[in-house]
Amino acid sequence: MLAAACAVILGTGMAGPGPFAAVAQSPQTLSEAAYEALLAEAKAHENPVAYDAALTSILNRSDLSDYQRGKTLFERATRRWKDGMDKLGALDDFEAILAIDANHPFANNAKIEKGWAEDEIIWIEQQHEDLQTIAEWFDGVFSLGRHDEAVARYRKSGISPTPLQVQTMMAFGYICEDRPDAPKLHQFGPERPDLANLHWCGPAAAMPGPDKAPRLLTASAPATGSPAPGDGKNAAARKDEAQPAIAVAGP
């Protein structure tokens, strides 16, 4: 059902700027051909950090039309939300689209997806009230966009990340290969061959505060059985895995 709904949304509002661009575009605005070339270049990045940075670079331009800015914000918001790497940042982007113009071609889509993102954020933050493994806590906090906070606590715990979390942190530059001068990723428990040559990048830092503050949202939270971010499992199923359950207190 969700996939079908997403398909409907992605199939609307994508036909082009239409009459909106004629009003919102000035002679100093970036041409559509040049804009689409920049967008295609950004989309070519497979690394989520590079992709996000490329879209941010486009948004930093001063010659975008309102249509181009809204479209770029929608691209970045959708990727941040659906990839589960920065849901709070996605929420900000959806709100920025709505602030451009209520009649923007992407405004309706942004409003719908903003509601879905809010529900997910509420559900994630509610899970923090329960006993969680460090892996569960990391998945939720990292997906909100509070990356430094999530990585610092994982590193301080000494517990090895899951293989999927290792891939994620490598993509974001938190884990390096073959850095014997840096702290080893694996510290406790049975040896894991997949972690043999992996190290934490950079010196250990003091536990930072949230790099994105929790949002006090009022929408209804999803059902308790909603899938947790990252691996598609619900919280009850993942509590049976090998990671020891610990109470994760605030910094």
Give residue-wise pLDDT tens across range 10-21. 444 444 555 455
Lowest mean pLDDT among 15-29, 78-92, 149-163, 179-193: 15-29
Q: Which of 125, 143, 175 is the last residue of a domain?
A: 125
> Does residue 114 share a domain with residue 59?
yes
> Does residue 238 share a domain with residue 138?
yes
> Does residue 192 share a domain with residue 113?
no
Nearest CA to 221 out of 97, 99, 127 is that of: 127
- Mean pLDDT confidence for 63-86: 94
Cα gap 106→94, rounded to integer Å: 9
Owning domain of residue 114: 2-11+29-125
* Structural domain includes residue 22: no
* Structural domain includes residue 53: yes
Quote the pLDDT of residue 33: 95
Who wins on pLDDT, 12 or 107?
107
- Out of 14-23, 205-214, 238-247, the most confident range is 14-23
* Structural domain includes residue 106: yes
Quote the pLDDT of residue 5: 44
* Structural domain includes residue 190: yes
Q: Output Rg (C-alpha) for the chain, integer angstroms.
A: 20
124 and 138 Cβ atoms separated by less than 8 Å: no
> Does residue 80 share a domain with residue 174?
no
Number of domains in the chain: 2
> Does residue 85 share a domain with residue 148?
no
